[in-house]
């Protein structure tokens, strides 16, 4: 009989992590985990709130020190109050301030728990650690070393779990709720007669490829392509909006690009429902398994993205979309042009993406994988 079948007591897990706002992949996935359902697993959330918006993410602020102390107290309290044996924690990406935070928090609390689960939602911390001063490297190894389970999003992400000698490594892809049936697609009838709608959703920053995408749009305009780009998301940093607006003006793209800002809920999903294709040319250093690509596939959108981190494990090249090298605006424009000129092929790719979503990337499958991980850690 399996260990999960022998277990008489449900595992009790303290989940430490950010939930929206701000809206980004890690926060969205932690919220999904907490919302469940996870039968036979008890979760108790200690919410990180170091950042109220994307402009604060990864930046030092004095108030964050006080919040760090508060978090440590809350974790200790949850451990005692609920008798939790498992600590669930999403380690930082390759950014010094969050790594220093992790070191203090984990060294202060990890010893209280019998088991530790690290969920590497952000990718690349193992690339930063060797660059730190020796005393910090030693502390980082103590903080991160040998988790009982390390969850990676894809075999193609940076080998953070291997670097920290995890006792067990599980691959659990990010997911999305299946909401597409609740929104009417207006583009199927209009796509042949109106400009193609290209959608970008995500943090609007240079590392997510926004300037590369605008360069590609400039090339599409030169070729006479009929298109319109919708950009949804908050700027990081906020001053980056100046560079984006200048780029749009310099390339005479005002009539071809709309900056919508942050959208959530139905207004966000309506953007997916009214798009013809999704473009995400990211080379973001912490990128792991972008949730927005899963959401696009849920809405049957063909995807044009980059060969970066875990993205090729989401987008099947030439089947559900196209992939280009990072920073290559001409290649990006060429692949967008292929979809614009052949809407029938684009729809077929979107359908294939939808099938992949249903078979591998639904919230139901994700939560069941997470449930099994926690059950296998139960003392029985």
CA distance 132 to 4: 40
Do 22 and 49 fall into the same domain? yes
pLDDT band at 378 (very low <50, low <70, confident <90, very high): confident
Do 356 and 366 fall into the same domain? no
Do 43 and 56 fall into the same domain? yes
User: Which of 371, 353, 351, 373 is closest to 363 using CA atoms?
Assistant: 371
**pLDDT score for 50:** 67
Do 356 and 372 fall into the same domain? no
Here the tokens at position 140 are 């980082």
Q: In the predicted model, is pLDDT for residue 186 greater than 80?
A: no
- State pLDDT tens for residues 347-377: 999 999 999 999 999 999 999 999 999 999 9
Q: In the predicted model, is pLDDT for residue 58 greater than 80?
A: no
Do 257 and 150 fall into the same domain? no
Q: How confident is the model over 89-93, as a mean pLDDT? A: 96
**pLDDT score for 200:** 98
This prediction has a pTM of: 0.92
**pLDDT score for 317:** 96
**pLDDT score for 1:** 38
SS3 sequence, the chain?
CCHHHHCCCCCEEEEEEECCCCCCHHHHHHHHHHHCCCCCCEEEEEEECCCCCHHHCCCCCHHHHHHHHHHHHHHHHHHHHHCCCEEEECCCCCCHHHHHHHHHHHHHHHHHCCEEEEECCCCCHHHHHHHCCHHHHHHHHHHHCCCCEEEECCCCCCCHHHHCCCCCEEECCCCECCCHHHCCCCHHHHCCCCCEEEEEECCECHHHCHHHHHHHHHHHHHCCCCEEEEEECCECCCCHHHHHHHHHHHCCCCCCEEEEECCCHHHHHHHHHCCCEEEECCCCCCCCCCHHHHHHHHCCCCEEEECCCCHHHCCCECCCEEEECCCCHHHHHHHHHHHHHCHHHHHHHHHHHHHHHHHHCEHHHHHHHHHHHHHHCCCC
Q: How confident is the model over 79-102, as a mean pLDDT? A: 96
Q: In the predicted model, is pLDDT for residue 2 greater than 90?
A: no
pLDDT band at 189 (very low <50, low <70, confident <90, very high): low
**pLDDT score for 187:** 65
For the chain, how many structural domains are there in total?
2
Q: In the predicted model, is pLDDT for residue 191 greater than 90?
A: no
Q: Which CATH number do you get for residue 329?
A: 3.40.50.2000
Do 281 and 135 fall into the same domain? no
**88-102, 108-122, 186-200, range with the lowest pLDDT:** 186-200
**42-51, 92-101, 143-152, 197-206, range with the lowest pLDDT:** 42-51
Do 66 and 129 fall into the same domain? yes
Do 140 and 153 fall into the same domain? yes
Do 208 and 119 fall into the same domain? no
The CA-atom distances, in angstroms, between 91 and each of 107, 154, 274 are 13, 16, 36
CA 284 to chain centre: 11
**36-40, 52-56, 166-170, 203-207, range with the lowest pLDDT:** 52-56
Domain of residue 65 covers 3-175+362-376
- State pLDDT tens for residues 94-109: 999 999 999 999 999 9
- State pLDDT tens for residues 285-301: 999 999 999 999 999 99
**pLDDT score for 4:** 44
- State pLDDT tens for residues 193-251: 789 999 999 999 999 999 999 999 999 999 999 999 999 999 999 999 999 999 999 99
Do 191 and 153 fall into the same domain? no
Where on the phi/psi map is residue 146: left (φ > 0), alpha (ψ -120 to 50), or beta? Answer: left
């Amino acid at each position: 009989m399996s260990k999960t079948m022998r277990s008489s007591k449900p595992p009790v897990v303290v989940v430490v992590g950010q939930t929206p706002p701000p809206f980004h992949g890690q926060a969205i996935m932690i919220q999904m985990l907490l919302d469940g359902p996870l039968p036979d697993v008890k979760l108790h959330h200690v919410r990180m709130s170091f950042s109220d918006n994307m402009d604060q993410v990864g930046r030092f602020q004095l108030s964050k020190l006080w919040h760090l102390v508060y978090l440590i107290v809350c974790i200790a309290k949850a451990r005692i109050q609920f008798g939790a044996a498992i600590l669930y924690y999403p380690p930082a990406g390759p950014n010094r301030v969050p790594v220093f935070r992790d070191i203090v928090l984990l060294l202060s609390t990890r010893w209280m728990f019998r088991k530790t689960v690290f969920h590497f939602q952000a990718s690349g911390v193992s690339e930063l650690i060797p660059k730190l001063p020796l005393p910090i490297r030693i502390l980082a190894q103590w903080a991160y070393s040998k988790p009982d389970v390390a969850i990676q999003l894809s075999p193609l992400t940076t080998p953070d779990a291997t670097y920290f000698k995890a006792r067990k490594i599980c691959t659990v892809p990010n997911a999305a709720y299946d909401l597409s049936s609740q929104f009417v697609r207006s583009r199927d009838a209009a796509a042949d007669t109106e400009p193609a709608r290209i959608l970008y959703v995500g943090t609007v920053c240079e590392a997510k490829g926004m300037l590369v995408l605008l360069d590609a749009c400039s090339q599409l305009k030169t070729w006479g392509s009929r298109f319109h780009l919708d950009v949804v998301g908050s700027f990081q940093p906020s001053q980056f909006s100046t560079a984006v607006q200048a780029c749009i003006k310099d390339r005479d793209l005002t009539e071809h690009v709309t900056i919508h800002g942050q959208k959530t809920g139905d207004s966000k999903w309506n953007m997916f429902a009214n798009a013809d294709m999704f473009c995400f040319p990211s080379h973001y250093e912490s990128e792991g398994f972008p949730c927005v690509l899963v959401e696009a596939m849920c809405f049957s959108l063909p995807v044009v993205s980059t060969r970066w981190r875990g993205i090729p494990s989401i987008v099947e090249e030439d089947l559900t979309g196209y992939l280009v090298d990072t920073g290559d605006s001409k290649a990006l424009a060429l692949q967008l042009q292929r979809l614009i000129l052949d809407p029938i092929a684009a729809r077929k790719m979107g359908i294939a993406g939808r099938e992949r979503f249903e078979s591998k990337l639904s919230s139901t499958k994700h939560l069941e994988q997470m449930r099994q991980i926690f059950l296998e850690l139960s003392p029985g």
